[in-house]
Structure 1
Amino acid sequence: MASDPNSQFAPSWYSTLEAGNSLQDQSHHVRAYVRLWKAFMRARVLIALVLLALQVFLLSNGAGGAAKWLVGVCTLHLAATIAVLVWTKRIEPGRAFRVQWLLTIAVDLVVFGMLDHFQQAGINYTPLFALPVLLAAILGSMTLALATAAVTTLYLLGEALIGAPLLSDVSTARLLQSGLSGTGFFVVAFLANQLAQRLAREEALVQKSQAAARSQAEVNELIIESLSEGVLVVDRHGVVRNANPAAQGMLMGDHYPHAAKLLLSARSEWESLSFLVDRTFQVGQGLEAEVQLAPDEYTTLRLFARTRLTNAQTGRPNDLCVLFLEDLREVEARVRTEKLASMGRMSAAVAHEIRNPLSAITQANALLDEEVTEPGQKRLTRMIEQNATRLSRIVDDILNVARAQPSQDEGLPALPLDQTLRQITHEWTRQNQAKGVLGVHPHAPGVHISFDPEHLRRLLINLLDNALRHASGQASSIRVISQPAGPDRVRISVWSDSAPLEPSVLKHLFEPFFSSESRSSGLGLYICRELCERYGAQIAYQRSRLDQREGNEFYVLAPTMQGGPRAPVQQSLTYPPGDSVPPPTRPGTSTNGPPSLSTL
């Protein structure tokens, strides 16, 4: 039975998914029809069994001669109903005049008619005719239902004419009773058929709406799971009801328990999220705040959190809070990309224009330096040379930032980390005369990373130069440490006993052209981050403690080579005395208080 063409369901953008579910919906309809058909067939078996028991009872109590063969008729009727239930193929809906339909209904009409005609002990079998009428009306068409009611009515009228003298009081009463019964069967057939058709249309509409709901749920689930923004559903008690993969990674990384519910107040690092959710339920409206999460001991995330209440528009009690978490690193990356896009071409053009006269100045200064002999003039030429060199370095940095960088080369060889660190730090120590100031502690033997050697050298030299400018200069005031960070990452850190960074500097730490020194281009840390991102690594800063001294630590989390030797997973590291030190740890006191809230 087709659905109503004037259905209330308008075409939607996911109508193709609904079309794909049409066969499934039709199979649901067929299964419902089969269940109804089986119910009627079982009812026929039950009635046939009751009639057989009744005839056997009448025969055992000395009924007339007709009782014996009526027992045989009831026995055959019972066998026929069982055979139809067990072996007969189900009739497809809408097929009204198949032979099986006629045999099923005809057998019941004949058997009930014989029992009614040869009735014993004054038993009235007329109500039994309602079964074939309902069977034809509900499972068949309107024509079959009215035909069955007509046959039943004709039989009742004929039985009334035969059973009593014509035009007698008994005949009139029986004819009137048969007519009323026939009218009732017609009404039952019509109403049952209309009700069955109405239920079939409603079932089609329900199935269509279910298909649309399933399609919409699948689309929503696909969108939420593929979002880079974390989505958490939290109730009033702080229990996380659901979380998309991005939110799971922000909370606990790869250790998120998918089969269990989490309580935000159960862990201290989630305290800011728990406070934000509780405050949202208290004020009854969405809030936003910046929070910090540490999914593992090596990673700290700065997130922008927004909350929304599920029933904020309806005025009903709010039972759930949806928490959106956005990684500020991605936001800063987008802002950084937009900023660089706007000034990239201009910077490259200006740098090229500066390079030509700068070369001329350098050459002229070199020629002038050969001519002059007075100490004062020599100092001036050296000043010109130093500043020209500084300008040349700034121009090179600007061009490196503005120049389009190639993607990571998959053909890079496996770079042995510890051996490369020793070579780079030895060269840097010799050039900067920092012997005794720098301590190198490689603890990742056998680890290989996919990194261009020249880029890794530039990354470490930038970090070491930055550390040398701010370190105290004492023995081992600068440390370079490598250690495994899980099964597929390695941690490279450059630590120095420098003073804490100011909040204004910390906020713009990795931005281009920002520096706390007047003679710096402000591109060193920015280039370091660009190099790390090119090879799938991450660079970050934290205040940490080493050998009972606090200092600044810049650390890089780099993926290890898939095809090369893997870093061993170590729960704790032991180091030989005098040569190695444990990795830096964060200070024991935390400066992070409750997040600042602002109403949306």
Structure 2
Amino acid sequence: MSSPLLWSRGEPGSEWGSLDTTPHPDSPALQRLWRGFMTARSFVAAVLVMLQGVSVGINQAIHPTALIISILYLAAVLGAARYVRFRPPLRGFHGAWLASIGIDLATFTALQLVQLPGSINYTPLFALPVLMGAVLGTASVGLGTTAAVTLLLLGDAGWQWLDHSGDPSTRFLQAALTGTGLFVVALLAHQLALRLAREEAQALRSRSTAQLHAQVNDLVIETLSEGVLVIDAEGRVHSANPAADAILGRGLAAMALPFELDAHPAWHSLAVLAEETFSHRQPQSQEMPIAQAGGAPREVRVRTRLTPATDRRIDSLCVMFLQDLRELEARIRTEKLAAMGRMSAAVAHEIRNPLAAITQASALLGEDLVDPSHRQLTAMVQQNAQRLARIVDDVLDVSRARQQRSLPLGDLVALDATVRTLAEEWVRQTRRQGVLLALDAGGRDVRFEVEHLRRILVNLLDNAARYAGDRDGSIQVTTATGARGRATLQVWSDGMPLESAVQRHLFEPFFSSESRSSGLGLFICRELCERHGATIGYERRALSAAGPEGNEFFVVFASAETRLTQ
């Protein structure tokens, strides 16, 4: 952005040279003054023509040349107002100066010379070009124009002395006094113009700064995770950010501003808190449940602040901050569990050695056992020790930075058969009823470790069972062949829809809608899927056109022919 002011060097020897402030060429204030002077010149020219006509009408003696000069002046003024382009300030006696001030000086001088004794005195008209030069021009232009007018007045006095007999001292004294007055007017007008330029420059800078601050504030408010409402003393909402829409719901973003905060009964408690803030003139803080259009109420921490009233004519505004307590608790839990995660990585290293010893000891013990039941028990010990070892490896993989890992080309599993085995095993262990299997992947093989697939499927089934109903088909496990021939796995349940705040953080670590959950399940599922080139996602949909909607988690597997590297 260019500076609103340009500092000129001034003319050598000019008293104002070092202090001359010249406005920006696009200065709106001086552009308006230029148009005002053009209007004033047009008015003066029209009055001159009318005076000549009136003088003729009342049979007063006038010089015919005066009428011609007035008509030509009117035409020149209208042409200058239409075609002359003005870029402040006037820096010299050419161009715009000649088309405006120069024409005025020539016209008024000619009228003064051709006037008949006892007729109209045109001397007061010289104030117009003096004001134009002082206000719209530099110091040299203003003083030069005033000096030119003074010389013209003195020259007219001398002409009248030569042309008529009598005492010339009165005429010269009158011209000198008029010139002195015009210099005073020029000085004052130029100082006022400088002050106008400074104030306009300051206003432009302040406006630019205010606009920049407003843009920064809008950007900050838009990206805040906290909801923000701006409310007036009458309970009308004048501004709301996207986070407030996510927390309050009910189509707040689509409502035309301003609107009454009591527009929905669920927001009545917010309106009451804002009213208390204005009545007590003190910040308020309260935790309250906010009813949602769908799902359970949301616990929200509400804080209010009043803007300072710097002007008695402008009332304060109440700024209301909304914070979802569940997200706040999740962030606190994230910080705590992040430290625990670092500790668990160290513990996992220490668990490896005892697990290896248990595995080796059970293998040695199994060699000496004869009883089948005893051998079965040692086999169970070995199997579960190996599973714990794999879990330890997974925890370490998640805790450390992602490493390059190539999956062997032979790690192929039959999707339908493996999913059926794992799902039936889960049903037997949980004794969950109403689980339907619809496996139709066409016998496709996928590149996935069985134990990792088990962890993903068990995690998704556990989540589904937590919210699904008890009827048959409330949980459905399906496989299919999706786009580009890639196999897919879906776990669908008829639970309530997930809230938007929960959906945004589904696959983030340490986030859970339940306080007793660690929030690592879906995060580990995503990590395992990415490790095998698969993708995991969530959507709310119905399995059939006539069926109910439900929550579906889906896994899209990589092509079996692709070698995966991470």
How far apart, in 2, do the equivalents of 1:49 and 1:256 lie? 59
Aligned to 2:149: 152
Which of 474, 477, 497 is matched with 1:479 structurally?
474
How far apart, in 1, do the equivalents of 2:491 and 2:362 lie? 45
Q: Is the 8 A contact 2:464 2:492 kept in 1?
A: no
| Match runs of 1:118-267 below 5 Å | 118-119=114-115, 122-163=119-160, 171-252=168-249, 256-257=253-254, 259-267=256-264
Shift of 1:131: 0.7
Aligned to 2:397: 403
Q: Is the 8 A contact 1:238 1:263 kept in 2?
A: yes
Provide closer, same or farther for how the CA distance between residues 207 and 186 of structure 1 changes in structure 2, counting only shifts above 3 A: same
Unaligned runs of 5+ in 2: 9-22, 403-414, 442-447, 479-489, 497-508, 531-535, 552-566
Which of 45, 64, 67 is matched with 1:68 structurally?
64
How far apart, in 1, do the equivalents of 2:377 and 2:269 lie? 53
Q: Is the 8 A contact 2:460 2:491 kept in 1?
A: no
How far apart, in 2, do the equivalents of 1:89 and 1:511 lie? 67
| TM-score, reference length from structure 2 | 0.68
Shift of 1:130: 0.6
How far apart, in 2, do the equivalents of 1:465 and 1:114 lie? 104
How far apart, in 2, do the equivalents of 1:318 and 1:123 lie? 59
**Alignment partner of 1:2 is 2:5:** yes
Q: Is the 8 A contact 2:337 2:510 kept in 1?
A: no
Where 1:80 maps in the other structure, the secondary structure is: helix
Aligned to 2:106: 110
Provide closer, same or farther for how the CA distance between residues 282 and 458 of structure 1 changes in structure 2, counting only shifts above 3 A: farther
Where 1:308 maps in the other structure, the secondary structure is: strand
Where 1:55 maps in the other structure, the secondary structure is: helix
Where 1:433 maps in the other structure, the secondary structure is: helix
Provide closer, same or farther for how the CA distance between residues 164 and 421 of structure 1 changes in structure 2, counting only shifts above 3 A: farther
Which of 64, 79, 82 is matched with 1:83 structurally?
79
How far apart, in 1, do the equivalents of 2:470 and 2:199 lie? 84
How far apart, in 2, do the equivalents of 1:274 and 1:491 lie? 43
Which of 298, 304, 309 is matched with 1:307 structurally?
304
How far apart, in 1, do the equivalents of 2:310 and 2:29 lie? 39
Which of 43, 60, 63 is matched with 1:46 structurally?
43
Where 1:325 maps in the other structure, the secondary structure is: strand
Q: Is the 8 A contact 1:309 1:318 kept in 2?
A: no
Which moves more between the two structures, 281-290 or 81-90?
A: 281-290
| Match runs of 1:513-524 below 5 Å | none
Shift of 1:103: 5.4
Shift of 1:329: 5.2
The amino acid across from 1:107 in the alignment is I
Provide closer, same or farther for how the CA distance between residues 225 and 167 of structure 1 changes in structure 2, counting only shifts above 3 A: same
| TM-score, reference length from structure 1 | 0.65
Q: Is the 8 A contact 2:5 2:24 kept in 1?
A: no
How far apart, in 2, do the equivalents of 1:422 and 1:4 lie? 85
Q: Is the 8 A contact 1:348 1:402 kept in 2?
A: yes
Deviations 1:131-180 (A, max 9, x none): 11111111112222223223323333344455469999964444433332
Q: Is the 8 A contact 1:286 1:306 kept in 2?
A: yes
**Alignment partner of 1:428 is 2:431:** no
How far apart, in 1, do the equivalents of 2:238 and 2:139 lie? 51
Provide closer, same or farther for how the CA distance between residues 189 and 313 of structure 1 changes in structure 2, counting only shifts above 3 A: closer
The percentage of counterpart residues that share the same residue type is: 38
Provide closer, same or farther for how the CA distance between residues 403 and 384 of structure 1 changes in structure 2, counting only shifts above 3 A: same
Aligned to 1:15: none
Where 1:403 maps in the other structure, the secondary structure is: helix
Which moves more between the two structures, 76-85 or 292-301?
A: 292-301
How far apart, in 2, do the equivalents of 1:34 and 1:103 lie? 16
**Alignment partner of 1:339 is 2:333:** no
Which of 435, 439, 443 is matched with 2:434 structurally?
439
Provide closer, same or farther for how the CA distance between residues 245 and 475 of structure 1 changes in structure 2, counting only shifts above 3 A: closer
Provide closer, same or farther for how the CA distance between residues 312 and 126 of structure 1 changes in structure 2, counting only shifts above 3 A: closer
How far apart, in 1, do the equivalents of 2:279 and 2:105 lie? 72
Shift of 1:279: 4.2
Does 1 or 2 have the higher relative contact order (CA < 8 Å, sep 6+)? 1
The amino acid across from 1:439 in the alignment is G
